[in-house]
Amino acid sequence: MDDINALRRILREAKVIAVVGLSADWFRPSFFAAKYMQEHGYRVIPVNPKYAQILGEKCYPSLREIHQPVDIVDVFRKTADVMPIAEDAIKIGAKVLWQQLGVRNEEAAAKARAAGLQTVLDRCVMIEHGRLFGGLNWVGVNTKVISAKRPRWLAY
């Protein structure tokens, strides 16, 4: 999905994000993205069989174990692993199947769309939220952490 208005609507209406493949390691992109979304008012439900808890939330071994409504299923897995996740997203009644940067399973997306889910491929939920709702300062933009100005301490 490349429609900015649709992305904005998805992120505005969603309240609960199940993050499949969320790592408990603070330096992993999945952790940083989930923490960002949590800090911006979303309920993040971790899905990873390796952990009991991540970011203060109970971690589930699979989507099918979650017994509460899920708006977005955010996939941090390899492209080849997406189809069973899409099937589980359909089964639990999720509204959106979101495949993260570098993840693009067209067949799984088509199956999800056929079941009534909206699909987003090869996009980061954190980056899109920051871009559309002004949260890019969270990743260093306009905070004087990242700057186009040359540092004065370098001898050019």
Query: Would you state the pLDDT for residue 156?
Result: 46
Q: Is 73 helix (H, G, I), strand (E, B) or coil?
A: strand
pLDDT value at position 144? 46
Instruction: Please give the pLDDT value at position 119.
Output: 98
**47-21-111 Cα angle (round to 5):** 85
Q: How far is residue 119 from each of residues 20, 52, 66, 79, 156, measured CA to CA in Å?
A: 15, 28, 20, 14, 48
Prediction pTM value: 0.86
Token pair recorded at residue 100: 């993260």
Pairing relation of β-strands 57-58 and 72-75?
Answer: unpaired
Task: Of 97, 98, 105, give the one whose Cα is nearest residue 33.
Answer: 98
∠ at Cα 61 (26, 46), nearest 5°?
40
pLDDT, block means (10 residues), the chain with 156 residues: 87 97 95 95 97 98 97 97 98 98 97 98 93 68 50 52
